[in-house]
Amino acid sequence: MWKLIFSVLSTTILLSSGAIAAPAASAPPPSETVPLASDDPNEALWNADTTIIPEAIRGSLGASVIGPQNVQIDRQNADLLAPPSTDAGNVNNAKWPFSLSHNRLQTGGWARQQNVDVMPIATSMAGVDMRLEAGAIRELHWHLTAEWAFVIKGSVQVSAVNMDGQNFLDTVGPGDLWYFPPGIPHSLQATNDSADGAEFLLVFDDGSFSEDDTLLLTDWMAHVPKEVIAKNFGTTISAFDNIPDQQLYIFPGVPPADNAPVPDSPQGQVPNPFTFKLSQINARQLAGGTVKIVDSRNFSIATAISAAEVTVEPGGMRFWHPTQDEWSYYLSGLGRVTIFAAEGNARTFNYEPGDVGFVPASFGHYVENIGNDTLHFLEISNSNLFQDVSLNQWLALTPPALVKAHLGISDETISKLSKTKQIVVGPS
């Protein structure tokens, strides 16, 4: 007993006196404080072009579908049916196909919309897909939101008058834009440059916007007493015998001439044009695709909405986080997007032509081309300047020791990071 006590005391004295040095404590590398991430590449298991019967299986997880199955929808949404293991937690639905929107059919065209009613996450912007036959008119109207537009097919003549009585008239074609500030009365008419007329995308800086709630000229006139109308215009009541008793919204018309002169105004024409010929701007060539950026720096009237037109080649991708909410529209190709929403929440979505996407400000994400053709899409933000932060550039410009401490990567890997923004990268 006494020998054991003496032994313990001796050890304590020796250690405290420094006669025997204790091993120096060191913090474990950061990568060892939590499990390492899986090496599973988590690629998309199929895309919308597949002919397989999709199954809810990824690796050893899941099982086949033995109940009713909408095969076409499952083919279009591989990462919802069989999500990557990196998906976790909850992210609100960030995909809406215009094909699921109710379509408002009119004589001469149609319109269908996306807003918070169908995609609640998109609180700051809404969109409308509109079609006009050659000569058809989207009637004179105005609204409290800004309107940004991209012509998908055909040509459209746009007209407007501002608060100073200055007017504007121009024709825009495929890939071109227009923008109207809130409250500016305007109209749209498809030309006959194409026998089919035109189709275009409209984006508004309010997620609750409804195309059915715009203020229309015919609707207004139908609800004002005729004697008031006559008094306002200094005419007889009979001069307005033929005004409609309800709104026209979209209606047939005679196709306008592309070179139609703007009506003469004593106040002159608007100082800053409401249209922008984006189709005539050279795209910036990148390793994995191209980009065109349009904001108030080159389209000065567009103070509330900015955009990028992006192409990504097969296997390429775009990886970043936005400083503003981002509303996107897919024109062609097949895309895959994972949205990271902090606190371990992430979800992956698949997109194809005609789909709308939305990413809230600061949410990290990428867009990957998982098809065999060029992916072509629009990124639209509710800001006068188009801005984002590149993950690659961010890490390249951060002290290497910090990056290594976070990610456990080698000096060789760090040396391959790009200090210039790689907007679209090519396949690895």
Catalytic residues, by residue number, are 379
- Whether residue 326 is annotated as binding a ligand: the answer is yes
CA–CA distance, 26 with 388 (Å, rounded to integer): 39
**392 close to 417: Cβ distance less than 8 angstroms:** yes
- Whether residue 143 is annotated as binding a ligand: the answer is yes
Three-state secondary structure call for residue 127 = strand
CA–CA distance, 352 with 12 (Å, rounded to integer): 72
- Whether residue 223 is annotated as binding a ligand: the answer is no
**171 close to 127: Cβ distance less than 8 angstroms:** no
> Secondary structure of the chain: what % helix, strand, coil (to 5)?
15, 30, 50
> What is the CA 344 to chain-centroid distance, rounded?
23
CA–CA distance, 93 with 127 (Å, rounded to integer): 16
Strand order, beta sheet including 284-286: 95-97, 355-359, 326-332, 375-381, 306-312, 289-294, 284-286
CA–CA distance, 22 with 166 (Å, rounded to integer): 85
Paired strand residues for 262: none
Structure tokens, 102:
């109710």
Residue 370 gets the label, from left (phi > 0), alpha (psi -120 to 50) or beta, of: alpha
Three-state secondary structure call for residue 170 = strand
- Whether residue 102 is annotated as binding a ligand: the answer is no
H/E run at residue 412: helix 411-415
What is the DSSP-derived secondary structure letter of residue 59?
Answer: T
- Whether residue 352 is annotated as binding a ligand: the answer is no
> What is the CA 205 to chain-centroid distance, rounded?
12
Non-local CB neighbours of 259 within 8 Å, separated by 6+ positions: none
Structure tokens, 326:
């981002």
Annotated binding-site ranges for Mn(2+): 141, 143, 147, 186, 321, 326, 365
Annotated binding-site ranges: 141, 143, 147, 186, 321, 326, 365
